[in-house]
Amino acid sequence: MIERIEQLRAQAQQEIAAAVTSDAVEQLRVRYLGRKAELPQMLRGVAALEPQQRGEVGRAANEARRALEQLIGQRAAELDAQALEQRLLADTADVTLPGTPPQPVGRMHVINATMRELEDIFLGLGFTVLEGQEVETVHYNFDALNHGPTHPARAHTDSFYVREPAGHATKQTIDVKAGHDSMRLGAPTDLVLRTHTSPMQVRAMQAHPPPLYVVIPGRVYRPDSDATHTPQFHQVEGLAVDEDITLADLKGTLLAFAKTVFGDERDVRLRPHFFPFTEPSVEVDVSCFHCSGKGFQADGSRCPLCKGEGWLEVLGAGEVDPNVYSYVPTTERNAPGYDPEKVQGYAWGMGVERIAMLKHGIPDLRLYFENDLRFLEQFG
Ligand code: DAH
């Protein structure tokens, strides 16, 4: 009997190893371990054996059954895995095929396309592209850019401040808005949705020693909404810090930008202005590409784009105020750091929506964000 058990076990082992489908394995399970199979029947018959045989036969049959169960389970799992692998291999989809029916390829949004164009221009001039965080600390957004404590941009009506989630706040504040039910708001934080990309100036200097040539594209936020303002818009910041950087370098860089974006015949001019973090500060105009800077059209009428000025205002800029360098912590990495006695720099901030508006003659800024394909499909 023991011999028969060993024989069955060996035979089943061989057949299980040779099975190539899970159906075949299932058939073997029925054949060797099913209700009417020989081995289970032997097990059932153990009680009828001579007492001295029972132990030995019972043990051998049990062991054989357990071994076969394990082998069958293993083989079935192996075959299932193989089948899955094959199905996955056979099931590959070529995502580059045009589809049925073929769909037209999409296009980049005009804002992203403009931002990429600007990045390319400045990359070509030797700048590196950096990105920053949209939720910024009041320190980097205002303090480190020389905004005095009463600067109007700090007002809660002019910037989006971030509050802690209600309930999680350590200090709970209750705001009662006129005409609204009282609203439960979390405690104010020192975080703000960045109102410009300029906070990256100090962050970039903190991360990299001079000389530094970077542009920072990105989203910025202010609570304004009309035909020329949306609560979210985009800027490209520029910052160059080196040993002897002058306004002439700024003008040359921006002239290269103006010619690439608005045409080779363009000129730029700098007008005195004020920003807290540049000294001197300028507003930069590009000669009008609609009337070639003349201010009037061929028929003698006033140019509708520049309103007869001959110039279009495109951005704010200036020489980095030496005081801004004092906000750059001197670390081992940027030692001796940004010493205002040793380095000079220029910076600018340009509005991407405004540049695209001028370039494409777009009348209302809100069109960018309405997702109307009839508008979007005209670009790119
Ligand atoms: N951050 C300014 C704004 O949003 C724009 C700006 C002006 C950026 C002058 C600069 C700069 O880097 O030098 O209005």
DSSP 187: P
| Dihedral (Cα; 333, 335, 340, 346), 10-degree rounding | -30
Q: Residue 321: which CATH number? A: 3.30.930.10
* Boundary residue ending a domain (90, 120, 153): 90
The overall pTM is greater than 0.85: no
The reported pLDDT for the residue numbered 174 is: 44
Ligand 1 proximity of 317 Cβ (cutoff 6 Å) = yes
Q: Classify residue 154: in a domain, yes or no.
A: no
129 and 77 both lie in a single domain: no
324 and 247 both lie in a single domain: yes
Rounded Cα–Cα distance for residues 345 and 282 (Å): 14
Confidence band, pLDDT 50/70/90 cuts, at residue 168: low
DSSP 377: T
Work out the average pLDDT over 213-238: 95
Rounded Cα–Cα distance for residues 136 and 145 (Å): 13
Q: Which two structure tokens, joined as six digits, stand for 81?
A: 């895995």
Amino acid at 284: V
Rounded Cα–Cα distance for residues 159 and 340 (Å): 30
Work out the average pLDDT over 173-186: 49
82 and 219 both lie in a single domain: no
Ligand 1 proximity of 278 Cβ (cutoff 6 Å) = yes
Work out the average pLDDT over 131-142: 97
Question: Whole-number mean pLDDT of the chain?
Answer: 91
114 and 86 both lie in a single domain: no
- Domains in the chain, number: 2
Rounded Cα–Cα distance for residues 173 and 188 (Å): 8
Ligand 1 pocket: which of 212, 219, 232, 275 to mutate (most atoms within 8 A of CB) = 275
329 and 301 both lie in a single domain: yes
Work out the average pLDDT over 186-208: 94
The reported pLDDT for the residue numbered 184 is: 63
Q: Classify residue 9: in a domain, yes or no.
A: yes
Measured from the Cα of 196, ligand 1's closest atom is 4
66 and 207 both lie in a single domain: no
Residue 178 has pLDDT above 70, yes or no: no
Reported as a single tens digit per residue, the pLDDT across 259-289 is 999 999 999 999 999 999 999 999 999 999 9
Ligand 1 proximity of 218 Cβ (cutoff 6 Å) = no
Rounded Cα–Cα distance for residues 28 and 197 (Å): 71
211 and 354 both lie in a single domain: yes
Which domain range does residue 51 map to?
A: 2-90
Which residue has its alpha carbon closest to ligand 1 atom 10? 348
239 and 124 both lie in a single domain: yes
281 C-alpha to center of ligand 1: Å? Answer: 9
Q: Classify residue 119: in a domain, yes or no.
A: yes
63 and 204 both lie in a single domain: no
55 C-alpha to center of ligand 1: Å? Answer: 92
Ligand 1 proximity of 210 Cβ (cutoff 6 Å) = no
Residue 173 has pLDDT above 60, yes or no: no
The reported pLDDT for the residue numbered 186 is: 79
Reported as a single tens digit per residue, the pLDDT across 298-331 is 999 999 999 999 999 999 999 999 999 999 988 7
